[in-house]
Structure 1
């Protein structure tokens, strides 16, 4: 086992989205995205051989496919399965900071 804390997670920015990747192995990845109200993160172009799950831990977001225009609204404690190769971006449409937990696999 290995404990990873918020302070030693790999932090990056994807547009205005603050991403923390806690785990990445050859089989899976796990992390979080934080967005302030009204902010939209960068476009993730999808994962060609992997599924990804988004879980809204806090807040109210829209997850949109910028190519097709389709979108899903997630409120706290709701999840979304993103299929292989599907582009996606997150927008916080709520009034509080949003926290989206994501995990996927296998890695490419």
Structure 2
């Protein structure tokens, strides 16, 4: 389906709405791309030492890496623990109130 295929579009969603949605999506992707490039540039200076230390600690970890957090940081922590586990680092998420 193309965005201009009127028979599949809700009556309240015009071709102009579709163009605005695409422009907003492009703008959002550009903002995200700029943020990733800024982060990449930050890793090239002396502030990247803590990241290198964290990687060193994870590589030397015996057992499981435990990730914790409350609220939004807990949601992010769950994702980090899942990513670590899926890439070969044994890990789990533990809610701090349950620890």
- Tell me the TM-score normalised to structure 1 length: 0.27
When you count strand as a share of all residues, which structure comes out higher?
A: 1
Which has the higher Rg, Structure 1 or Structure 2? Answer: 2
